[in-house]
Each structure stands twice: as structure tokens, then as C-alpha cells.
């Protein structure tokens, strides 16, 4: 939509010009507003769990900008005629539970009758204008850290096909419903060069946005990248969402893979994530400490997945 002329002013710190996670608007020298909105169709059958996931996903954009979420508004498209009030109540209760966990208040919302259920929240947060974490700005020699396992898109495709076991559904639901709040708090204590959250474009797509046009290369150590074991099994039988194929076609010209690289693993790296983890760059000397702190807080998948190299070329190199 670059041809459109959107209104802006000098207080817009992060706007539509860059593909960042949320917009940021300066209110004063020590306060800026973060705004974001996201909503989608159900990824799991249970309405309470879906409510949790939808809200965790929306809040994540504020965390990825280095901010603290403060207020939220529900956005609901709902087939009242066919589903009745029950599931709606459960879904909103799941969402409310996540907002409470994030110490974020609900100010209101809007719902429309819709043949297909959709839910999400718009979130407003605060950040100090000098503490904004943008998705670009990686330094050479930085370590890259990812805080959640990949593969939720593939597993959600298997759920859609009725092939995932109850245990797998429970595991992936817990992962998607987990807030990025603690991870965001931990990285506040360190010098973080750039940060985003991994969502629809997959790990490589979001990484590509972090380096596009900056002359920065990234080396990913593939065996260190966390992913769900079930996602590998399902991808190996062809349950790969269309989004992963689209992400690959869009970004594969930026990627250097060794010959004979496992195509199943490759698809996991492009798999669109629902409520994925934070992906950020930190100083090498801090990386181990950060990951240890994340593990201590129960963020068990967190791992250093690669390093940044100033090559002069926007390039993602897969090692492994």
C-alpha cells in the first residue's frame, strides 16, 4: 500500500514507512505511545484457549517494541446466530485472563455479526522514546536469540486436518498462549540492538525484515533453532501451510543454504507462527546470561540461534 499517502506528523517515531511490529507516537520527551492491532480466525477448537492465544498474540507486538501494554479493546466478528452466546463468553474470558496476566486493562471493544469467528485486541502501551526496540539495527557480531519454538503453523494445519493428538494440541496451545512478557522484561536489562516477534512471515521472513537494506548478514546455526518435534513429523507428511510456501518464495533469494539442505527443516524456518517468540540481537558477551535467565523463568525453548556478520550484503546463511 506504499502508493497511498497516510497522514503523519513529527511525533510519529515509528509509523507505516517501516515494517515494524507496532506504531509509536511521542507524547513527551519521556513518554511514547505504542499502538497495535491484530485479530484472526480460530487456530484451536476450544474457545477459552483461542481467546488466550489471540490476546497473547496481540500483546506480543507491544513487547517486541520494548514497551509495556496498558489498555486494550476487544475486536470480535462472531456468528451469534449459529454459535450462541456460550463460546463467545468463554473466548472473551480466555482473552481477559491473558490481559490480567499482562496487567493490561480492557476499556471496551466492538463486535459485528460475521459468518466466520474472528477475535483479537487492539493494544496501547507505553515506552520511553529512547528505549524503543525497532526491528532494524542489528550490530555486527551480535548474537541472535529466539524465545519460542517454531512450528505452530504446521501443527495448526494438522489440527485443522484432525490429525493432531490431544496431547499435541495441548502442547502447542500452551506455547501459543504464553505471553512474551517475561522475555521482554529480561531483555530490558541488556543492550538489545533490534527486536521483533516471529509471526506470519516465519523466522526467515522476520529476520529478512530485520536486515533488509542494511547490508547485514546473518548466520543461523540450524541445529540450535528450537522447533516442535511434531511439526517436523507433520511437515514431513506434507502438512505445510500455504503461508510457509509463500514466505519461502518471497524470501528465498536472500537465503544461502548448504547443498541438500533438508526441505522439511527449511519449511519449518518459513512456517508462519501464531503468537511466536521474540527474536532479538544482543551483545555476544550477554547472550549466555540472557538465555540462562530465560530458562530460569520457564522459557525453556529460548536459544542463541545465530550471529550477525557485517558482510555488506543482506543475506541469511544457514549453517548445518
Q: What minimum distance in Å lies between the beta carbon of 147 and another protein?
A: 23
166 binds another protein per the rule CB under 8 A: yes
Q: No. of H helices and E strands in the chain?
A: 11, 13
Residue with cell 503468537: 275
Among 45, 113, 114, 141, binds another protein (CB under 8 A): 45
Of 157 and 216, which CB lies nearer to another protein in the complex structure?
157
Q: Are 265 and 113 in contact (CB under 8 A)?
A: no
170 binds another protein per the rule CB under 8 A: yes
Pairing of strands 143-146, 278-282: antiparallel
Of 69 and 87, which CB lies nearer to another protein in the complex structure?
87
User: Which grid cell is 44?
Assistant: 484451536
238 binds another protein per the rule CB under 8 A: yes
Among 50, 63, 119, 234, binds another protein (CB under 8 A): 234
Q: What minimum distance in Å lies between the beta carbon of 259 and another protein?
A: 19
Using CB under 8 A, count the residues that bind another protein.
30
Among 215, 258, 263, 320, binds another protein (CB under 8 A): 263
233 binds another protein per the rule CB under 8 A: yes
97 binds another protein per the rule CB under 8 A: no
Among 86, 162, 213, 298, binds another protein (CB under 8 A): 162
- What letter would DSSP give residue 191? -
Alpha-carbon distance of 210 to 289, in angstroms, equals 23
Among 158, 175, 184, 220, binds another protein (CB under 8 A): 158
46 binds another protein per the rule CB under 8 A: yes
Phi, psi of 101 (to 5 degrees): -60, -30
User: Could you write out the DSSP letters of every residue in 306-319?
Assistant: EEEE--SS-EEEEE
Among 140, 242, 289, 313, binds another protein (CB under 8 A): 242
Q: Are 58 and 125 in contact (CB under 8 A)?
A: no
Among 239, 268, 291, 299, binds another protein (CB under 8 A): 239
Alpha-carbon distance of 36 to 195, in angstroms, equals 16
CA-nearest of 260, 21, 265 to 132 is 21
Name the one range near another protein by CB under 8 A: 29-37, 50-58, 165-173, 206-214.
165-173
- What residues numbered 183-222 form the site for another protein, per CB under 8 A? none
Q: Are 298 and 219 in contact (CB under 8 A)?
A: no
Alpha-carbon distance of 33 to 70, in angstroms, equals 10
Among 17, 105, 237, 292, binds another protein (CB under 8 A): 237
Q: Exposed, middle or buried by CB within 10 Å (0-12, 13-18, 19+), for 34? A: buried
Q: What minimum distance in Å lies between the beta carbon of 255 and another protein?
A: 17
- Cα distance from N-terminal residue to C-terminal residue, the chain: 37
CA-nearest of 154, 151, 150, 172 to 45 is 172
Name the one range near another protein by CB under 8 A: 13-21, 228-236, 287-295, 310-318.
228-236
The helix (H) or strand (E) run that includes residue 56 is helix 47-64
Among 84, 140, 161, 215, binds another protein (CB under 8 A): 161
Interface residues toward another protein, by CB under 8 A: 45-46, 157-158, 160-170, 230, 233-234, 236-242, 244-246, 263-264
Amino acid at each position: 500500500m506504499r502508493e497511498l499517502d497516510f497522514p503523519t506528523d513529527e511525533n510519529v517515531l515509528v509509523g507505516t514507512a517501516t515494517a515494524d511490529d507496532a506504531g509509536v507516537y511521542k507524547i513527551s520527551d519521556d513518554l511514547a505511545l505504542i499502538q497495535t492491532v491484530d485479530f484472526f480466525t480460530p487456530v484451536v477448537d476450544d474457545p477459552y484457549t483461542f481467546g488466550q492465544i489471540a490476546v497473547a498474540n496481540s500483546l506480543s507486538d507491544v513487547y517486541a517494541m520494548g514497551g509495556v501494554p496498558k489498555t486494550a479493546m476487544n475486536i470480535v466478528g462472531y456468528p451469534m446466530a449459529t454459535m450462541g452466546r456460550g463460546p463467545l463468553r468463554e473466548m472473551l474470558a480466555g482473552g481477559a485472563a491473558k490481559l490480567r496476566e499482562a496487567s493490561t486493562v480492557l476499556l471496551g471493544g466492538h463486535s459485528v455479526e460475521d459468518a466466520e469467528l474472528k477475535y483479537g485486541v487492539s493494544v496501547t502501551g507505553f515506552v520511553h522514546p529512547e528505549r524503543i526496540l525497532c526491528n532494524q539495527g542489528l550490530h555486527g557480531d551480535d548474537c541472535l536469540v529466539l524465545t519460542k519454538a517454531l512450528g505452530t503453523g504446521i501443527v495448526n494445519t494438522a489440527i485443522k486436518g484432525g490429525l493432531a493428538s490431544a496431547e499435541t494440541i495441548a502442547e502447542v496451545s500452551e506455547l501459543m498462549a504464553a505471553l512474551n512478557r517475561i522475555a521482554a522484561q529480561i531483555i530490558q536489562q541488556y543492550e538489545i540492538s533490534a527486536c521483533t516477534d516471529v509471526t506470519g512471515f516465519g523466522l526467515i521472513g522476520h529476520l529478512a525484515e530485520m536486515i533488509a537494506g542494511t547490508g547485514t548478514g546473518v548466520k543461523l546455526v540450524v541445529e540450535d533453532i528450537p522447533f516442535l518435534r511434531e511439526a517436523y513429523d507433520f511437515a514431513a507428511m506434507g502438512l505445510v501451510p500455504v503461508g510457509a510456501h509463500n514466505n519461502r518464495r518471497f524470501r528465498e533469494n536472500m537465503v544461502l543454504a548448504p547443498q541438500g539442505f533438508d526441505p522439511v527443516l527449511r519449511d519449518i524456518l518459513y512456517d508462519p507462527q501464531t503468537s511466536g517468540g521474540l527474536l532479538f540481537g544482543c551483545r555476544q558477551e550477554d547472550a549466555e546470561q540472557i538465555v540462562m535467565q530465560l530458562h530460569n523463568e520457564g522459557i525453556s525453548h529460548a536459544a542463541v540461534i545465530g550471529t550477525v556478520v557485517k558482510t555488506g550484503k543482506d543475506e541469511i546463511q544457514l549453517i548445518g
